[in-house]
Protein backbone atom coordinates (compact mmCIF):
# COMPACT_ATOMS: atom_id res chain seq x y z
CA UNK A 1 0.00 0.00 0.00
CA UNK A 2 1.43 3.37 -1.04
CA UNK A 3 1.84 5.95 1.73
CA UNK A 4 0.84 9.58 1.29
CA UNK A 5 1.80 12.46 3.56
CA UNK A 6 -0.19 15.70 3.33
CA UNK A 7 0.89 19.12 4.59
CA UNK A 8 -1.90 21.64 4.78
CA UNK A 9 -3.75 23.88 7.19
CA UNK A 10 -5.72 21.58 9.47
CA UNK A 11 -5.48 22.76 13.07
CA UNK A 12 -7.50 25.93 12.95
CA UNK A 13 -10.74 27.28 14.33
CA UNK A 14 -12.18 27.45 10.85
CA UNK A 15 -14.68 25.14 9.13
CA UNK A 16 -13.17 25.48 5.67
CA UNK A 17 -9.67 24.62 6.89
CA UNK A 18 -10.87 21.50 8.67
CA UNK A 19 -13.24 20.27 5.97
CA UNK A 20 -10.79 20.63 3.07
CA UNK A 21 -8.21 18.61 5.04
CA UNK A 22 -10.78 15.92 5.79
CA UNK A 23 -11.88 15.81 2.15
CA UNK A 24 -8.41 15.31 0.66
CA UNK A 25 -7.41 12.71 3.24
CA UNK A 26 -10.68 10.77 3.15
CA UNK A 27 -10.89 10.75 -0.66
CA UNK A 28 -7.39 9.28 -1.03
CA UNK A 29 -7.98 6.81 1.79
CA UNK A 30 -11.06 5.52 -0.07
CA UNK A 31 -8.82 4.89 -3.09
CA UNK A 32 -6.76 2.46 -1.02
CA UNK A 33 -3.87 4.66 0.09
CA UNK A 34 -2.46 4.97 3.59
CA UNK A 35 -2.82 8.67 4.29
CA UNK A 36 -1.33 10.87 7.00
CA UNK A 37 -1.94 14.50 7.73
CA UNK A 38 1.57 15.57 8.71
CA UNK A 39 1.39 17.32 12.06
CA UNK A 40 3.16 20.47 10.91
CA UNK A 41 1.93 23.85 12.06
CA UNK A 42 3.21 27.09 10.61
CA UNK A 43 3.54 29.29 13.74
CA UNK A 44 2.46 32.49 11.98
CA UNK A 45 -0.62 30.86 10.43
CA UNK A 46 -1.56 29.24 13.73
CA UNK A 47 -1.53 32.59 15.50
CA UNK A 48 -3.79 34.15 12.85
CA UNK A 49 -6.35 31.35 12.82
CA UNK A 50 -6.27 30.77 16.57
CA UNK A 51 -7.01 34.37 17.48
CA UNK A 52 -8.58 35.65 14.25
CA UNK A 53 -5.79 38.19 14.29
CA UNK A 54 -5.20 40.20 11.11
CA UNK A 55 -3.52 43.41 12.18
CA UNK A 56 -0.30 43.08 10.15
CA UNK A 57 1.92 42.20 13.11
CA UNK A 58 1.15 45.27 15.21
CA UNK A 59 1.41 44.57 18.93
CA UNK A 60 -1.67 46.64 19.70
CA UNK A 61 -3.66 44.61 17.16
CA UNK A 62 -2.55 41.35 18.73
CA UNK A 63 -3.46 42.50 22.24
CA UNK A 64 -6.83 43.78 21.02
CA UNK A 65 -7.62 40.47 19.32
CA UNK A 66 -6.51 38.52 22.37
CA UNK A 67 -8.71 40.55 24.70
CA UNK A 68 -11.72 40.23 22.40
CA UNK A 69 -11.32 36.46 22.34
CA UNK A 70 -11.11 36.28 26.13
CA UNK A 71 -14.00 38.68 26.79
CA UNK A 72 -16.31 37.21 24.14
CA UNK A 73 -15.59 33.61 25.09
CA UNK A 74 -14.21 32.46 21.75
CA UNK A 75 -11.82 29.86 23.17
CA UNK A 76 -14.64 27.98 24.89
CA UNK A 77 -16.72 27.78 21.73
CA UNK A 78 -13.76 26.97 19.48
CA UNK A 79 -12.94 24.01 21.73
CA UNK A 80 -16.54 22.87 21.56
CA UNK A 81 -16.86 23.25 17.80
CA UNK A 82 -13.65 21.60 16.63
CA UNK A 83 -12.98 18.92 19.24
CA UNK A 84 -14.03 16.05 16.93
CA UNK A 85 -12.10 17.05 13.81
CA UNK A 86 -9.16 14.69 14.32
CA UNK A 87 -11.56 11.73 14.34
CA UNK A 88 -11.78 12.08 10.57
CA UNK A 89 -8.12 11.76 9.54
CA UNK A 90 -4.88 10.19 10.74
CA UNK A 91 -2.48 12.74 12.19
CA UNK A 92 1.20 12.00 12.71
CA UNK A 93 2.15 12.02 16.38
CA UNK A 94 4.92 14.57 16.70
CA UNK A 95 3.92 18.21 16.24
CA UNK A 96 6.47 20.10 14.13
CA UNK A 97 6.86 23.84 13.73
CA UNK A 98 10.16 23.89 11.79
CA UNK A 99 11.26 22.27 8.54
CA UNK A 100 14.13 20.54 10.34
CA UNK A 101 11.60 18.53 12.34
CA UNK A 102 10.06 16.95 9.21
CA UNK A 103 13.24 16.69 7.14
CA UNK A 104 13.68 12.92 7.59
CA UNK A 105 10.12 11.88 6.81
CA UNK A 106 9.65 9.21 4.11
CA UNK A 107 6.57 8.75 1.98
CA UNK A 108 5.82 7.43 -1.49
CA UNK A 109 3.97 10.67 -2.20
CA UNK A 110 4.08 14.07 -0.54
CA UNK A 111 1.12 16.39 -1.12
CA UNK A 112 0.86 20.12 -0.54
CA UNK A 113 -2.80 20.48 0.26
CA UNK A 114 -5.36 23.12 -0.43
CA UNK A 115 -6.30 26.42 1.17
CA UNK A 116 -4.01 29.44 1.22
CA UNK A 117 -0.82 27.58 2.12
CA UNK A 118 1.08 29.61 -0.50
CA UNK A 119 -0.14 32.99 0.75
CA UNK A 120 2.86 34.62 2.49
CA UNK A 121 0.58 37.03 4.32
CA UNK A 122 -0.85 34.05 6.20
CA UNK A 123 2.34 31.99 6.60
CA UNK A 124 4.76 34.83 7.40
CA UNK A 125 6.60 34.48 4.10
CA UNK A 126 6.73 31.52 1.72
CA UNK A 127 6.96 28.41 3.88
CA UNK A 128 9.28 25.75 2.37
CA UNK A 129 7.35 22.97 4.11
CA UNK A 130 4.23 23.89 2.14
CA UNK A 131 6.40 23.73 -0.99
CA UNK A 132 7.45 20.19 -0.02
CA UNK A 133 11.12 21.04 0.34
CA UNK A 134 11.65 18.29 2.91
CA UNK A 135 11.70 14.52 3.32
CA UNK A 136 12.05 11.71 0.81
CA UNK A 137 9.35 10.89 -1.71
CA UNK A 138 8.97 9.53 -5.21
CA UNK A 139 6.42 12.21 -6.05
CA UNK A 140 5.58 15.68 -4.89
CA UNK A 141 2.16 17.04 -5.80
CA UNK A 142 0.17 20.18 -4.99
CA UNK A 143 -3.59 19.75 -4.72
CA UNK A 144 -5.61 22.94 -5.26
CA UNK A 145 -3.09 25.07 -3.39
CA UNK A 146 -3.92 28.76 -3.17
CA UNK A 147 -2.20 32.14 -3.10
CA UNK A 148 -5.37 33.81 -1.91
CA UNK A 149 -5.47 37.19 -3.65
CA UNK A 150 -1.76 37.84 -3.10
CA UNK A 151 0.42 38.33 -6.19
CA UNK A 152 3.93 36.96 -5.55
CA UNK A 153 6.87 39.36 -5.50
CA UNK A 154 9.88 38.68 -7.70
CA UNK A 155 11.71 37.15 -4.74
CA UNK A 156 8.74 34.89 -4.01
CA UNK A 157 8.50 33.89 -7.67
CA UNK A 158 12.12 32.73 -7.56
CA UNK A 159 11.31 30.59 -4.52
CA UNK A 160 8.39 28.98 -6.34
CA UNK A 161 10.45 28.45 -9.48
CA UNK A 162 13.17 26.56 -7.63
CA UNK A 163 10.72 24.52 -5.57
CA UNK A 164 8.64 23.47 -8.56
CA UNK A 165 11.64 21.61 -10.00
CA UNK A 166 10.98 18.83 -7.48
CA UNK A 167 7.25 18.56 -8.24
CA UNK A 168 5.73 15.85 -10.41
CA UNK A 169 2.30 17.51 -10.67
CA UNK A 170 1.12 21.02 -9.79
CA UNK A 171 -2.45 22.18 -9.30
CA UNK A 172 -3.92 25.36 -7.84
CA UNK A 173 -7.39 26.35 -6.71
CA UNK A 174 -7.86 29.56 -8.69
CA UNK A 175 -7.22 30.69 -12.24
CA UNK A 176 -5.50 33.70 -10.70
CA UNK A 177 -2.84 31.48 -9.12
CA UNK A 178 -2.20 29.71 -12.41
CA UNK A 179 -1.75 33.06 -14.12
CA UNK A 180 0.79 34.10 -11.48
CA UNK A 181 2.76 30.84 -11.43
CA UNK A 182 2.61 29.15 -14.86
CA UNK A 183 5.64 31.00 -16.27
CA UNK A 184 7.74 29.70 -13.39
CA UNK A 185 7.66 26.05 -14.48
CA UNK A 186 7.57 23.96 -17.64
CA UNK A 187 4.99 21.68 -16.01
CA UNK A 188 1.38 22.38 -16.89
CA UNK A 189 -0.40 23.88 -13.88
CA UNK A 190 -3.94 22.58 -13.45
CA UNK A 191 -6.78 24.52 -11.88
CA UNK A 192 -8.75 22.20 -9.57
CA UNK A 193 -11.89 22.68 -7.57
CA UNK A 194 -11.55 23.05 -3.83
CA UNK A 195 -11.10 19.55 -2.30
CA UNK A 196 -14.44 19.80 -0.49
CA UNK A 197 -16.00 19.24 -3.92
CA UNK A 198 -14.39 15.79 -4.13
CA UNK A 199 -17.48 14.65 -2.22
CA UNK A 200 -21.04 15.32 -3.34
CA UNK A 201 -24.07 16.21 -1.27
CA UNK A 202 -24.94 12.64 -0.26
CA UNK A 203 -21.35 11.82 0.68
CA UNK A 204 -21.03 14.87 2.96
CA UNK A 205 -24.37 14.16 4.60
CA UNK A 206 -23.44 10.52 5.19
CA UNK A 207 -19.95 11.39 6.46
CA UNK A 208 -20.92 14.25 8.78
CA UNK A 209 -24.44 15.67 8.52
CA UNK A 210 -26.40 12.67 9.76
CA UNK A 211 -24.30 12.56 12.94
CA UNK A 212 -25.69 15.91 14.10
CA UNK A 213 -28.89 16.46 16.06
CA UNK A 214 -29.42 19.47 13.80
CA UNK A 215 -30.05 17.07 10.90
CA UNK A 216 -33.61 16.51 12.14
CA UNK A 217 -34.55 20.19 12.52
CA UNK A 218 -37.98 20.95 11.05
CA UNK A 219 -38.07 24.71 11.69
CA UNK A 220 -37.62 27.20 8.87
CA UNK A 221 -34.71 29.62 9.22
CA UNK A 222 -32.23 31.76 7.34
CA UNK A 223 -28.66 30.79 8.21
CA UNK A 224 -25.84 33.33 8.32
CA UNK A 225 -22.17 32.40 8.34
CA UNK A 226 -19.88 35.42 8.18
CA UNK A 227 -16.13 35.54 8.71
CA UNK A 228 -15.34 39.17 7.94
CA UNK A 229 -14.33 41.45 10.78
CA UNK A 230 -16.70 44.01 9.21
CA UNK A 231 -19.82 41.85 9.20
CA UNK A 232 -21.83 44.56 10.98
CA UNK A 233 -22.12 46.25 7.58
CA UNK A 234 -24.31 43.31 6.44
CA UNK A 235 -27.08 43.86 8.97
CA UNK A 236 -29.50 45.83 6.81
CA UNK A 237 -29.29 43.27 3.99
CA UNK A 238 -29.82 40.35 6.37
CA UNK A 239 -32.89 42.07 7.81
CA UNK A 240 -34.31 42.60 4.31
CA UNK A 241 -33.96 38.88 3.56
CA UNK A 242 -35.50 37.93 6.88
CA UNK A 243 -38.57 40.02 6.03
CA UNK A 244 -38.75 38.67 2.48
CA UNK A 245 -38.64 35.02 3.58
CA UNK A 246 -40.60 35.65 6.79
CA UNK A 247 -38.00 33.52 8.60
CA UNK A 248 -35.94 34.01 11.75
CA UNK A 249 -32.18 34.44 11.39
CA UNK A 250 -29.88 31.83 12.89
CA UNK A 251 -26.20 32.72 13.07
CA UNK A 252 -23.21 30.38 13.31
CA UNK A 253 -20.75 32.24 15.52
CA UNK A 254 -18.09 31.77 18.18
CA UNK A 255 -18.79 34.63 20.56
CA UNK A 256 -21.58 35.83 22.83
CA UNK A 257 -21.85 38.98 20.75
CA UNK A 258 -25.50 39.74 20.06
CA UNK A 259 -26.21 40.86 16.53
CA UNK A 260 -29.42 42.91 16.33
CA UNK A 261 -30.76 40.88 13.37
CA UNK A 262 -30.04 37.46 14.91
CA UNK A 263 -32.91 35.51 16.42
CA UNK A 264 -30.80 32.51 17.42
CA UNK A 265 -27.06 32.27 18.08
CA UNK A 266 -25.47 28.90 17.33
CA UNK A 267 -22.22 29.03 19.23
CA UNK A 268 -19.58 26.35 18.88
CA UNK A 269 -21.30 24.35 16.14
CA UNK A 270 -19.36 21.17 15.34
CA UNK A 271 -18.33 20.27 11.80
CA UNK A 272 -21.22 17.78 11.81
CA UNK A 273 -23.60 20.58 12.86
CA UNK A 274 -22.18 22.84 10.16
CA UNK A 275 -23.23 20.44 7.39
CA UNK A 276 -26.64 19.72 8.95
CA UNK A 277 -27.46 23.40 9.51
CA UNK A 278 -26.59 24.20 5.90
CA UNK A 279 -28.72 21.29 4.68
CA UNK A 280 -31.86 22.46 6.45
CA UNK A 281 -31.66 26.23 5.87
CA UNK A 282 -34.22 27.98 3.69
CA UNK A 283 -31.52 30.44 2.65
CA UNK A 284 -27.84 30.87 3.45
CA UNK A 285 -26.16 34.28 3.64
CA UNK A 286 -22.37 34.15 3.79
CA UNK A 287 -19.17 36.00 2.95
CA UNK A 288 -17.06 32.86 3.29
CA UNK A 289 -15.56 30.93 0.38
CA UNK A 290 -16.33 27.60 2.01
CA UNK A 291 -19.73 28.86 3.08
CA UNK A 292 -20.37 29.53 -0.61
CA UNK A 293 -18.82 26.20 -1.66
CA UNK A 294 -20.95 24.13 0.71
CA UNK A 295 -24.10 26.07 -0.19
CA UNK A 296 -23.51 25.04 -3.80
CA UNK A 297 -22.39 21.49 -3.09
CA UNK A 298 -25.41 20.87 -0.85
CA UNK A 299 -27.71 22.51 -3.43
CA UNK A 300 -29.01 25.24 -1.13
CA UNK A 301 -30.37 28.64 -2.02
CA UNK A 302 -27.82 31.22 -0.96
CA UNK A 303 -26.51 34.74 -1.46
CA UNK A 304 -22.78 35.36 -1.06
CA UNK A 305 -21.69 38.78 0.17
CA UNK A 306 -18.50 40.28 -1.20
CA UNK A 307 -15.67 39.79 1.27
CA UNK A 308 -13.23 42.66 0.81
CA UNK A 309 -10.32 40.82 2.42
CA UNK A 310 -10.27 38.11 -0.27
CA UNK A 311 -12.92 38.55 -2.99
CA UNK A 312 -11.36 36.57 -5.87
CA UNK A 313 -12.04 33.06 -4.60
CA UNK A 314 -15.81 33.45 -4.37
CA UNK A 315 -16.02 35.35 -7.67
CA UNK A 316 -14.06 32.65 -9.54
CA UNK A 317 -16.21 29.85 -8.13
CA UNK A 318 -19.45 31.59 -9.07
CA UNK A 319 -18.19 32.38 -12.57
CA UNK A 320 -17.11 28.78 -13.17
CA UNK A 321 -20.63 27.58 -12.37
CA UNK A 322 -22.46 30.31 -14.28
CA UNK A 323 -24.04 31.98 -11.24
CA UNK A 324 -21.94 35.12 -10.86
CA UNK A 325 -25.11 37.22 -10.57
CA UNK A 326 -25.70 35.86 -7.07
CA UNK A 327 -22.89 37.91 -5.57
CA UNK A 328 -24.48 40.65 -3.40
CA UNK A 329 -27.90 39.89 -4.90
CA UNK A 330 -30.43 42.30 -3.30
CA UNK A 331 -33.51 40.91 -1.59
CA UNK A 332 -35.92 42.68 -3.94
CA UNK A 333 -34.26 41.03 -6.95
CA UNK A 334 -33.81 37.59 -5.39
CA UNK A 335 -34.16 34.51 -7.59
CA UNK A 336 -33.86 30.84 -6.73
CA UNK A 337 -31.06 28.80 -8.26
CA UNK A 338 -31.65 26.36 -11.10
CA UNK A 339 -29.56 23.54 -9.72
CA UNK A 340 -30.15 21.32 -12.77
CA UNK A 341 -27.91 23.66 -14.75
CA UNK A 342 -25.44 24.26 -11.92
CA UNK A 343 -25.08 20.55 -11.14
CA UNK A 344 -24.35 19.71 -14.77
CA UNK A 345 -21.39 22.10 -14.71
CA UNK A 346 -20.39 21.07 -11.20
CA UNK A 347 -20.24 17.37 -12.05
CA UNK A 348 -17.98 18.03 -15.04
CA UNK A 349 -15.60 20.04 -12.85
CA UNK A 350 -15.83 17.51 -10.01
CA UNK A 351 -14.99 14.55 -12.23
CA UNK A 352 -12.18 16.50 -13.88
CA UNK A 353 -10.64 17.20 -10.46
CA UNK A 354 -10.99 13.57 -9.38
CA UNK A 355 -9.46 12.29 -12.61
CA UNK A 356 -6.48 14.63 -12.35
CA UNK A 357 -5.82 13.74 -8.70
CA UNK A 358 -6.11 9.99 -9.25
CA UNK A 359 -3.74 10.21 -12.21
CA UNK A 360 -1.27 12.26 -10.18
CA UNK A 361 -1.05 9.71 -7.35
CA UNK A 362 -1.28 6.55 -9.44
CA UNK A 363 1.89 4.52 -10.01
CA UNK A 364 2.05 2.35 -13.12
Q: Mean pLDDT throughout 138-155?
A: 94
Stretch 173-200: mean pLDDT: 96
Query: How do residues 89-113 score in pLDDT, each as one tens digit?
Result: 999 999 999 999 999 999 999 999 9
Q: Is 328 helix (H, G, I), strand (E, B) or coil?
A: coil
pLDDT score at 161: 99
> DSSP 3-state assignment of 364?
coil
Average pLDDT over residues 58-68: 50
Condensed to tens digits (0 to 9), the pLDDT of residues 331-350 reads: 999 999 999 999 999 999 99
Q: Write down the pLDDT at residue 57.
A: 46
Other C-beta atoms lying within 10 Å of the C-beta of residue 256: 13
Give residue-wise pLDDT tens across range 282-314: 999 999 999 999 999 999 999 999 977 666 789
Q: Looking at 79-88, 165-174, 258-267, which range is the least confident one?
A: 79-88
Given this model, what pLDDT does residue 149 score? 80
Q: Provide, for the chain, the percentages of residues in helix, strand and coil under a 3-state DSSP scheme, each rounded to the nearest 5.
A: 50, 15, 40
Residue 131 CA to residue 220 CA, distance in Å, equals 45
Pairing of strands 302-304, 109-112: unpaired
Helix 59-71 and helix 74-82, axial crossing angle in degrees, nearest 10:
70
In SS3 terms, 133-155 reads as CCCECCEEEECCECCCCCCCCHH
The predicted model scores a pTM of 0.90
Domains of the chain (ranges, CATH numbers) = 3-198+350-361 (3.40.50), 201-333 (3.40.50.2000)
Residue 53 scores a pLDDT above 50: no
Average per-residue pLDDT for the chain: 91
Check pLDDT > 60 for residue 66: no
Mean pLDDT along residues 321-340: 97
Amino acid sequence: MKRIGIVTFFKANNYGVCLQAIATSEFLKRQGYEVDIINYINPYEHRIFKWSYKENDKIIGYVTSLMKNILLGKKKYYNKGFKNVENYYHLTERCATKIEQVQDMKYDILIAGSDQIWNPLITGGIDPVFLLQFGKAERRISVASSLGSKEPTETEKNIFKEAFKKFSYISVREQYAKKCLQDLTDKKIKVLMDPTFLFNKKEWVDLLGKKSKAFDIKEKYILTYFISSKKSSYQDRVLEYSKKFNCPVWSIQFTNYTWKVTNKKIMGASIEDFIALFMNAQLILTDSFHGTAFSINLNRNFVPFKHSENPLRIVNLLQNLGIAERLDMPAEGYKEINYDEVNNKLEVLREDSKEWLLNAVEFE
